[in-house]
């Protein structure tokens, strides 16, 4: 896809009932007051005082994010909304005045546990206390532990504050400006004047159109537009790559991948082992699309990857979708359902039609949309996101993505809902929404089966995209950063003498062909897909996070399948932990997956294979 189609960034920072956002001038005064209060004093703070300071920093960050959300401007012809450039300048300027705080935290010296921080006696190293590590372990600071542990993991890679502030400010004329140029370039007129109503967003949406001819035509027009901007896109990408490589070297990392992965406590060797394990199971991707090909009665092309198939889901209202999700949770974990019950009216009202419009049962693909929205809302209530004490530059520019824990939990609950619907389809008590219709047993079974199959197809295609497609992007990134373009030579991104393709496009085609085998036909336009990848331009090395979240969700549900009695207590402990208190590795460990063991994570592929087998069984039952 060219542009992410997720919810607009920063929406979760503001909402009805919250305090009004301070004006820019007022916010600037608050930032200056924070700096006057805490600059040079961080080492002297007691844990309660540090907690208070972090809470103030969180509020300032939320205010910055809310301003950026309020000033969003849509990029023409795309679904992307980004902060106005003026607001971005203000936000980066204000955040640069706050840089001292995390830098002073990272610079906390080790002291004797019997002495205050201001006095540094020459105690033996083994008797000295690491103040930042102690803050990470302090019970009173648990909501900020994820942030503090991130600083601890990256300690030693920061520079002096004047240099960090200079780099921070220069991002406006450097990395962020190049990214904006890429976005604006792709939103420029792509089509002949008589077709000007067909925006990029519209062309993207046609990839799920029922008509194969319409999908193909839209895919061709999209490819033509990307090809037209490939040369400029290649130049922008080479500039961004050099910038990331320079920063990695400046901070003392061996590679740009290590710089970005270290933010989440991940190592590059671990990730490369995962990539190898994923590549060993490309057969799962091919198996699914051969199944889809047989069902559609035609070969699958790259423009058909997300073509709708299977019977449409039965219509649902917002109330029915919410009740279904809650009933599945009740079956899975009664304690969780009891906790969630008071939230149901609000979740339902958020899904209902706007005031003044009568609610009607949804049709087509909308039943799944309602079901998935209800599921995600419940997921976020059961396990809220941790506090965002600090926004990375990518987040400031408007590319905030769902947190890793939200991705894991939502994908996990989708599998829970699938199991519940499949039980209803196989003769156990039908879901309440279907039971309330008063239909006969066969109608109840049929409705549950159709909904289960539609959700299963959606789930499988989402997980195949997250695990396999994102792994291809990650492998392409590694190739790009290791190639000659990282040394300043842009020749590989220019048209080759052998043909009209580009070096990056050729590498992408090789990777895609390895994944697709003979199950999916690669169309020529695929060689320009990289030009429209936000992962390469806006979110470097974010693909590993998406793949890992999907694998962990699948591996967790496999653990639940193997031993529900063992898994559920750990799951409840994870839900009970304060948001922001656990690292990725600790969250996964509570969910019985060891991130230190690639083989444990790759067990998620076995669960993915299980769901493909379930779909095969459902299709066989339909034929019989």
* pLDDT for residue 185: 83
What is the reported pLDDT for 12?
34
Report the pLDDT value the prediction gives residue 310, as an integer from 0 to 100: 84
Is 60 exceeded by the pLDDT of residue 538? Answer: yes
Taking only the tens place, the pLDDT of each residue in 294-353 is: 999 999 999 999 999 988 888 888 999 999 999 999 999 999 999 999 999 999 999 886
Contacts for 212 with CB less than 8 Å, ≥ 6 apart? 298, 304, 307
Q: Is 455 exposed, middle or buried (0-12, 13-18, 19+ CB in 10 A)?
A: buried
Per-residue pLDDT at 400 exceeds 90: no
**Helix 543-562 crosses helix 404-425 at what angle (to 10 degrees)?**
40
Distance CA 482, CA 256 (A): 10
pLDDT value of position 14: 36
- pLDDT for the residue numbered 244: 92
Between strands 129-130 and 72-74, the pairing is unpaired
Confidence at 522, pLDDT banded by 50, 70, 90? very high
Q: Which two tokens stand for residue 578?
A: 């304060």
**Residue that wins the pLDDT comparison between 287 and 622:** 287
Give the model confidence (pLDDT) of 56-67 as tens digits: 999 999 999 988
Q: What is the pLDDT of residue 173?
A: 75
**pLDDT: which is higher, 438 or 212:** 212
DSSP 417-444: HHHHHHHHHTTSPPPHHHHTTT--HHHH
Encode pLDDT of 257-307 as tens digits: 999 888 877 888 999 999 999 999 999 999 999 999 999 999 999 999 999
pLDDT value at 197 more than 80: no
Six token digits for residue 345: 């009216």
Residue of higher predicted confidence among 135 and 129: 135
Q: What is the mean pLDDT of residues 468-488?
A: 83
pLDDT surpassing 50 at residue 521: yes
Cβ partners under 8 Å of residue 610, min gap 6? 558, 561
Classified as helix, coil or strand, 590 is: helix
Strands 81-83 and 300-301: unpaired
Hunting for tokens 């004490």 — which residue is that? 389
Report the sign of the C-alpha dihedral through residues 345, 348, 350, 355, in that order. negative
Mean pLDDT, residues 226-250 taken together: 91
Per-residue confidence band for 18, with pLDDT thresholds at 50, 70 and 90: low
Q: What is the pLDDT of residues 346-372, one digit of tens each?
A: 999 998 865 444 444 443 457 788 999
Domain limits of the chain? 11-170
The yes-or-no verdict on residue 127 having pLDDT over 60 is no
Residue-wise pLDDT tens digits, 132-143 = 999 999 999 999
Q: How confident is the model at residue 15 (pLDDT cuts 50, 70, 90)?
A: very low
- Reduce the DSSP state of residue 605 to 3 states and report it: helix
- Give the largest CA-CA distance in the chain: 82
Strands (E), 350-476: none
In the structure, what pLDDT confidence band is assigned to residue 205 with cuts at 50, 70 and 90? confident
Q: What is the mean pLDDT of residues 594-605?
A: 94
pLDDT at 79 over 50: no
Residues 6+ apart with CB under 8 A from 479: 507
Answer yes or no: is pLDDT of 124 > 70. Answer: no
Q: What is the per-residue pLDDT for 221? A: 92
CA distance 200 to 197: 10
Compute the mean pLDDT over every residue in the chain, rounded to the nearest whole number. 83
**pLDDT (0 to 100) of residue 68:** 86
CA–CA distance, 395 with 101 (Å, rounded to integer)? 19
More confident residue, 19 or 479: 479
Copy the structure tokens of residue 40: 């040079």
Contact status, residue 549 vs residue 379, Cβ threshold 8 Å: no
Which pLDDT does position 71 carry in this prediction?
A: 64
Q: CA–CA separation, 379 vs 392, rounded Å?
A: 25
Q: How many CA atoms lie within 13 A of 14 on its CB side?
A: 20
Q: Has residue 10 got a pLDDT over 50?
A: no
Note the pLDDT tens digit of each residue in 417-464.
999 999 887 765 544 444 444 444 444 456 778 899 999 999 999 999
Q: What is the mean pLDDT of residues 145-159?
A: 90
Question: Burial level of 282, CB count in 10 A (0-12/13-18/19+)?
Answer: middle
Q: Residue 126's pLDDT is what?
A: 46
Closest CA to 370 of 328, 338, 339, 325: 325
Better pLDDT: 552 or 172: 552
What share of the chain in percent tops pLDDT 70? 81
What is the distance between the alpha carbons of residues 434 and 512, in angstroms, rounded to a whole number? Answer: 42
Closest CA to 546 of 485, 599, 474, 622: 474
- pLDDT by residue (tens digit) across 544-597? 999 999 999 999 999 999 999 999 999 999 999 999 999 888 999 999 999 889
- The pLDDT value recorded for residue 501 is 41
User: Is residue 593 a contact partner of residue 587, using CB atoms and an 8 Å limit?
Assistant: no
pLDDT at 37: 96
User: For residues 195 and 533, which has the higher predicted lDDT (pLDDT)?
Assistant: 533
- 74 forms beta bridges with 81
Q: Is 396 or 474 the better-scoring residue by pLDDT? A: 474
The pLDDT value recorded for residue 485 is 46
Nearest to 552 by CA among 503, 506, 514, 588: 588
């Amino acid at each position: 896809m060219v542009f992410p189609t997720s919810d607009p960034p920063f929406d979760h920072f503001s909402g009805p009932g919250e305090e009004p956002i301070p004006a820019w001038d007022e916010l600037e005064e608050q930032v200056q007051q924070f700096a006057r209060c805490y600059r040079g004093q961080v080492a002297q703070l007691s844990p309660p005082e540090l907690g208070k300071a972090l809470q103030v920093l969180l509020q300032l960050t939320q205010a910055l994010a809310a301003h950026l959300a309020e000033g969003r401007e849509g990029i023409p012809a795309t679904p992307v909304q980004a902060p106005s450039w003026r607001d971005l300048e203000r936000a980066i300027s204000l955040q640069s005045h706050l840089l001292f705080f995390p830098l002073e935290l990272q610079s906390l010296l080790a002291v004797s546990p019997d002495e205050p921080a201001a006095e540094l006696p020459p105690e033996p190293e083994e008797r000295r206390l690491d103040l930042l590590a102690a803050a990470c372990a302090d019970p009173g600071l648990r909501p900020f532990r994820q942030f503090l542990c991130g600083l601890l993991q990256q300690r030693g890679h920061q520079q002096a504050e004047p240099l960090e502030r200079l780099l921070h400010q220069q991002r406006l004329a450097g990395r962020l400006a190049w990214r904006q140029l890429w976005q604006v370039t792709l939103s420029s007129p792509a089509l002949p004047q008589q077709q000007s109503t067909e925006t990029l967003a519209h062309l993207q949406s046609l990839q799920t159109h029922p008509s194969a001819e319409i999908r193909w035509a839209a895919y061709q027009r999209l490819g033509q537009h990307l090809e037209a901007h490939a040369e400029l896109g290649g130049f922008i990408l080479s500039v961004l790559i050099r910038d990331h490589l320079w920063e990695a070297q400046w901070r003392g990392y061996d590679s740009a991948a290590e710089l970005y992965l270290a933010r989440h406590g991940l190592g590059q060797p671990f990730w490369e082992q995962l990539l190898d394990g994923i590549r060993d199971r490309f057969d799962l991707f091919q198996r699914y699309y051969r199944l889809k090909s047989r069902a559609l009665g035609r070969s699958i092309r790259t423009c058909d990857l997300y073509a709708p198939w299977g019977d449409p889901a039965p219509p649902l209202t917002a109330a029915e979708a919410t009740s279904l999700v809650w009933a599945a949770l009740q079956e899975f974990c009664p304690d969780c359902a009891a906790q969630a019950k008071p939230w149901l009216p609000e979740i339902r009202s958020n899904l209902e039609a706007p005031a003044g419009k009568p609610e009607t049962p949804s049709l087509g693909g909308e039943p799944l949309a309602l079901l998935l929205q209800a599921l995600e809302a419940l997921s976020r209530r059961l396990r809220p996101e941790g506090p965002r004490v600090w926004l990375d530059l990518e987040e400031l520019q408007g590319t905030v993505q769902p947190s890793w824990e939200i991705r894991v939990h939502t994908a996990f609950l989708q599998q829970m809902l699938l199991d519940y619907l499949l039980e209803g389809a196989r003769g156990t008590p039908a879901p309440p929404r279907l039971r309330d219709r008063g239909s006969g047993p066969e109608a109840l079974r049929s409705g549950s089966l159709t909904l289960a199959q539609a959700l299963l197809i959606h789930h499988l295609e989402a997980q195949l995209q997250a695990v396999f497609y994102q792994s291809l992007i990650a492998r392409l990134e590694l190739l790009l950063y290791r190639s000659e373009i990282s040394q300043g030579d842009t020749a590989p991104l220019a048209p080759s003498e052998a043909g009209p393709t580009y070096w990056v496009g050729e590498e992408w085609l090789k990777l895609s062909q390895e994944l697709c085998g003979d199950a999916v036909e690669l169309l020529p336009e695929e060689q320009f897909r990289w030009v429209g990848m936000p992962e390469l331009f806006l979110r470097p090395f974010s693909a590993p996070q998406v793949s890992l979240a999907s694998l962990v969700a699948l591996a967790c549900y496999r653990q639940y399948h193997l031993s529900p009695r063992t898994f559920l207590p750990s799951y409840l402990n994870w839900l009970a932990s304060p948001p922001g208190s656990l690292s990725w590795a600790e969250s996964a460990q509570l969910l019985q997956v060891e991130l230190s063991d690639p083989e444990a994570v790759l067990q998620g592929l076995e669960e993915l294979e299980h769901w493909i087998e379930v779909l095969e069984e459902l299709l066989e039952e339909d034929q019989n």
